[in-house]
Chain A
Amino acid sequence: MQQLIYFIQKYRYFLFFLFLELIAFQLIINNLSFHKSKFINSASSITGDFYSKTNSIRDYFQLDTENKELLNENLILRNKLEKLSLSIDTSPITKIFEKTDLRQRYSYIQGRIEKNQFRNNYNFLTINLGKKDSLVPEMGVINSKGILGITENVLQRYSRVRSILNKNSKINAKLKNSNYFGTLTWDGLDYNSTQLLDIPRQAKLKVGDTIITGGMSSIFPEGIPIGSIDNIVNEASIKRIINIKLFNDMSNLKNIYVVKDFDKQQLVNLEKTSNE
């Protein structure tokens, strides 16, 4: 017993150091797994408010470019609307619209990025939407140019989004000109390019082909742009890696939309039913 007390006396600093170091490692490991990262993240109201205050100063300097981007998006949407109204006007009415045809599946919630991160291997964004805006975990986050990430921790006023620039991120994606789908991942090297894996070998690929979201999951609607094929590594082998150049500049983000899927609960329940 005396020996033990003597041991603790002698190594008390080292034991204290080990104790704190173990806590730190536990936090690191928790941070890497999807649903455990509750304690340390920037979505808390203290850090969220802090970033929100500093951002409101910074915003003034970016108003010009932000306005141009929003005008651009408006232009695209207006053109789409014009085309759509033209096609509705000219097409002969051959069927009566059912109530289910007009049902809306997705709605979008508008928000803003409070903290952007693209430097680390496991990147997270903080957005100014939370439980008060009826957000839940695992909702898609997009902007006018493409996808950004998936919500992970939702607190009262802020939430943390797992960026597509995160080594744990896996998103269903497909080619625009065919229905072959694969998994979008990131290798942690370049923030302008992500990797598309598991595309079947018979799929014909060309540099410059557009990649869009696949709609196999209930997180993103189908057809949201991601990027274009930059180059293909190991073209003719099983380890084929397709490098995607993102449409978004991930280092310069501001306005976002969160996708709300009204059918999500139904889809989840359907997938849960047993196979027998």
Chain B
Amino acid sequence: MALPIIRITLGFMYFSAFLRRVVNMPAKMIPSSPAYVGGKLITFIPHAWLIGGLLEYTIMHPAFLYDFLVAWTVLEAVFGLFLMLGFMSRLSGLVIALLAWGIGLGAAWIGSTCLDEWQIAAVEGAAALVFVFAGSKWLSVDQLLIKKYPNGLKIGRWSLPLW
């Protein structure tokens, strides 16, 4: 019953990233603007872990960087919203966990106050992974789906437990 308390806030963390970049300040997604989010990746480079080479490649290829940002923002918007709605919570939790942990490999060294980015990556990653196992019952779209399809999405002889 208590899971929506964390699920809705966690989803909003990701869905609101989309709102900021697309609704509040569209300049964040315009490559020629000083507000362009792509510039954040440069700040990750000095002490990134495991993905330094990938970050450098991305920054040196502006077209790829733009596509990467669009794809990342779409994932944040879609799965952040899904998590808030409790729709395909198990899948959404997995995607959000990978986004949180993935960005942490680059950004986690940053945070002059309280190891900020590291805390975000570690806590949001762990919290999102909970939903892979817990799913959503109360206050979710999934509870309607569970009633109709208790074994998840059936593809041939496989049943995927997306909710």
A and B: partners? no
